[in-house]
Amino acid sequence: MKLLGERDTRVLEMVVSHYVASGEPVGSRTVAKISGLNLSPATIRNLMMDLEDRGFLTQPHTSAGRIPTPKGFRYYVDHIMPIQELGPATQQKIQDAFSPSGTEPSEIFRQVSRALSTVSGHPALVLAPRPQGMRLKHIKFINLGGDGVLTILVSQDNQVQTRFVRCGASYTQDQLDRFSQYLNELCQNLTLGESRGQILAKMVEERNLFDRMISQALNLSRQALQSDDEEELYIEGTSQILDYPEFAEDISKIRTLYKAFEEKHHLVTLLDKTLASQGVQIIIGPEEHFPEMQLSLVAASYGSSLSPLGSLGIIGPMRMNYARVIPIVRYTASMVTDYLKKRET
């Protein structure tokens, strides 16, 4: 995107900042008063018309002032917005709001989403780590009688997942213990997805060997580690959308948003886009998911940069205060990363 000149930049900055604060279209007289450019309202009007022609502003009504377009917000966020650091008081507020009372992962992520929503004043989303991203510490098989086997998967951060498998054959507990020992050596510290790939490769490699135990262990583990695409998305603060004038006055928008909160797949898809990226990502006006909704998502992944575990973020009106929200999301993501690392030790 071609950079704007100094005057155009200042005008766009004033329109965005005033619109974020008021939610009302901004007129040329207002910009002339607050811009510090020492230009007449007529000159400011011409600059605003030029920005409109270039797609940065739009005029919702003929007699009204102008508001930023998604392109205008994008330019503001990428080139104009001042970088802010999160103050100690806000950091403490997030820490105080995030106080998981137990070690259950569901409680941790629910607390994170609640803390993020409380401090930001917007609905907050936390996408929990997918099962396939769980890094294995230990696998154990338990005989349940007949061909039923309970698989217990323990992650490096001591999360436990259980799966029931009907394996089509009957194994003694002694056999299952030997299967577990072999697989623990094969899959130590791999994710479930990596483990499944390792097992499939090993099955091809061992195809010509006559080691029945290895063949049985690999076949059982292949069933136990079948891909599980179930996502857990924690959402807090959905009622806060009623505080946005642009939504409160439009029942159809409220219905669309609440439907998205219930069905979740659009929100999961948006958060997925941030998983492979470092730092805070800002998605402005995702038309393919929420056409005509004037929404934005500010999100960041948590976990290591090489192996992100999940992502979290804030969803709200396109006119949200990005300069305030971005450091909140960044700090919360780093806090979750640090917390999960401590659980591993």
23-37, 105-119, 193-207: least confident range: 193-207
- pLDDT level of residue 100 (50, 70, 90 thresholds): low
- pLDDT level of residue 200 (50, 70, 90 thresholds): low
The DSSP symbol for 86 reads P
- Written in H, E and C, the secondary structure of 242-276 is HHCHHHHCCHHHHHHHHHHHHHCHHHHHHHHHHHC
Secondary structure (3-state) at 244 = coil
If residue 141 lies in a helix (H) or strand (E), which one and from where to where? strand 136-143
Share of the chain above pLDDT 70, in %: 84
Inter-axis angle of helices 6-22 and 41-53, nearest 10: 90
- pLDDT level of residue 208 (50, 70, 90 thresholds): low
Phi then psi dihedrals of residue 309, to 5 deg:
-95, -40
pLDDT at residue 35 above 80? yes
Higher pLDDT, 254 or 335: 335
Secondary structure (3-state) at 249 = coil
Give the CATH class of 132-224.
Answer: alpha beta
Mean pLDDT of 284-292: 77
How high is the mean pLDDT of the chain?
Answer: 83
Looking at domain 88-130+231-344, which CATH architecture does it have?
Answer: 2-Layer Sandwich (3.30)
pLDDT at residue 139 above 90? no
pLDDT value at position 210? 45
pLDDT value at position 131? 60
pLDDT tens-place string over residues 15-24 = 999 999 988 8
pTM: 0.73
Give the CATH class of 6-80.
Answer: mainly alpha
- Is the CB of residue 113 less than 8 Å from the CB of residue 128? no
Counting every residue written for the chain, the total comes to 345
Q: What one-letter code names the amino acid at 108? A: I
- Is the CB of residue 280 less than 8 Å from the CB of residue 330? yes
- Is the CB of residue 109 less than 8 Å from the CB of residue 205? no
pLDDT tens-place string over residues 209-263 = 546 666 666 677 666 666 555 568 899 998 888 788 777 777 787 888 888 888 7
Question: How many Å apart are CA 157 and CA 206, to the nearest integer?
Answer: 31
pLDDT value at position 199? 73
Mean pLDDT of 173-196: 80
Question: How many Å apart are CA 314 and CA 309, to the nearest integer?
Answer: 18
Higher pLDDT, 131 or 196: 196
- pLDDT level of residue 138 (50, 70, 90 thresholds): confident
Domain boundaries along the sequence of the chain: 6-80, 88-130+231-344, 132-224
Question: How many Å apart are CA 83 and CA 85, to the nearest integer?
Answer: 7
Question: How many Å apart are CA 162 and CA 89, to the nearest integer?
Answer: 41
Domain pair 88-130+231-344 / 132-224, same fold: no
If residue 308 lies in a helix (H) or strand (E), which one and from where to where? strand 308-317
pLDDT value at position 142? 87
Q: Which two tokens stand for residue 21?
A: 């604060």
- pLDDT level of residue 53 (50, 70, 90 thresholds): very high
